[in-house]
Amino acid sequence: SPPSVVLNTGREMPVLGLGTYKLCGPEAVFQAVDAALAAGYRAFDSAAVYRNEADLGRALRELLPKYGLTREDVFITSKLSPKDQGEKAMKGALHSLSQLDLGYIDLYLIHWPGTQGLPVADQRNPGNRAQSWLRLEELHGQGKLRAIGVSNYTAAHMRELMQSCRVPPALLQVEFHPRLCQLELRSLCKEHGVCFQAYSSLGKGELLADPLINEVANSCKRTPAQILLRWAVQQGVPVLPKSSNPDRIQKNTEIFDFSLRDADMDRLSALDCGHRFCWDPSEVA
C-alpha cells in the first residue's frame, strides 16, 4: 500500500486517496471504488455536497471483504455542507455519518469558510464557523469523527480557528498544484502541526496540457498526472486525484517508485502564479 502520514491525533492517513467530486451514481461509485481498492488505495475523500456518501459507504461495505479488508483498513474523509454551517452543523455531520453508515468517519472537514445561502457579506460571519467547529469537537469527543479539520480556509480563517479552538484542526485541505504553491498556508500549517493536503493536484485535468509538465513527463517517462502528483508527495503533501477511469485510477498510484530531480522540482514550483482552477475562499475572509 502507499505510504502514510501521522496526523496530530496520532492516527495515520494514507498520502494517496481517491477524490470523488463528480463521481455520482451507485454504479459509477462502485466501479471506481473497486478499481481503487484493487490498485491499493486505502483512502477515499467524499463530502455532503458531492451527494455520493451513501453510494461510497455501500460500495465499501460490499467490496472490503472482496479484498480481505475491514473498516479499520480504510480512511474515509467527508465534509460538512456549506449550507449546514453554523446552527445546522450537528445535523449535517450526523447526516454524513448516517449516509456513509461505516460506524465512524476518519476525518471530517468544514468544507468552506462561508455559509451557503447567505449573501457574500454575511458569509464572512465568523460566528457560524465557530459554532460548526464546536459541534465537530463534540462529535470528535464521542469518537464518531476520529479527526476533524477544515477545507478552503485562508490564513486569516486558520488564525481565527487556532485562537478559539479546544481541539486543534488535524488537517487543512486546499487547492494545491505548481501554479498555486500556497506558501503562506503551508508554513502556517507546519508551524501549528496541521497536515496540509492537496486537492485539484491536476488542476481539474487542465494542467495536464502544460508544456513544462509534459517536458518533465517525457524526460522521466511518466505521465503528466504522475509528475503533478509526485511533485506534491515529494514535498510531503498528501494528494486526492479524482478519476472514474480504472486505468487512470491505477496509473495515479504509480508515484512512489521514482523521484523528480531537485532542478525539476524547482522548475515546476516556479510556475507558481496564484492561479486557481477552483473557487477563491478569500472572498469570504
Taking the CA atoms of the chain, what radius of gyration do you get in angstroms?
18
Q: Which is nearer to ligand A2P, 1 or 245 (CB)?
A: 245
By DSSP bridging, strand 12-14 and strand 4-6 are antiparallel
* Nearest-angstrom CA–CA distance, 164 and 240: 29
Q: Which residues pair with 270 in a beta bridge?
A: none
> Cβ of residue 176: shortest distance to ligand A2P, in angstroms?
10
Q: Which is nearer to ligand A2P, 151 or 223 (CB)?
A: 223
Dihedral pair phi/psi, residue 9, rounded to 5°: -85, -10
DSSP-assigned letter for residue 168: P
Per the annotation, the verdict on 50 as an active-site residue is yes
Which of 21, 41, 50, 104 is catalytic? The answer is 50
Which grid coordinates belong to 268?
515546476
Binding site for ligand A2P (CB under 6 A): 19, 200-205, 208, 223, 225, 241-245, 248, 251-252
Q: Could you give the angle at the alpha carbon of 94 between the alpha carbons of 82 and 102, nearest 5°?
A: 115
Q: Which is nearer to ligand A2P, 9 or 243 (CB)?
A: 243
> Cβ of residue 259: shortest distance to ligand A2P, in angstroms?
19
Known binding residue 95? Answer is no
**Residue 144: which of 194, 96, 89 has the closest Cα?**
96
Which grid coordinates belong to 86?
453554523
Contact status, residue 274 vs residue 180, Cβ threshold 8 Å: yes
Q: Which is nearer to ligand A2P, 250 or 269 (CB)?
A: 250
> Cβ of residue 241: shortest distance to ligand A2P, in angstroms?
5
Q: Which residue has the cell 507546519?
A: 190
> Cβ of residue 228: shortest distance to ligand A2P, in angstroms?
8
**Residue numbering of the annotated binding site for substrate:** 111
Active site residues: 50
Could you list the residues known to form a binding site, using ranges: 111
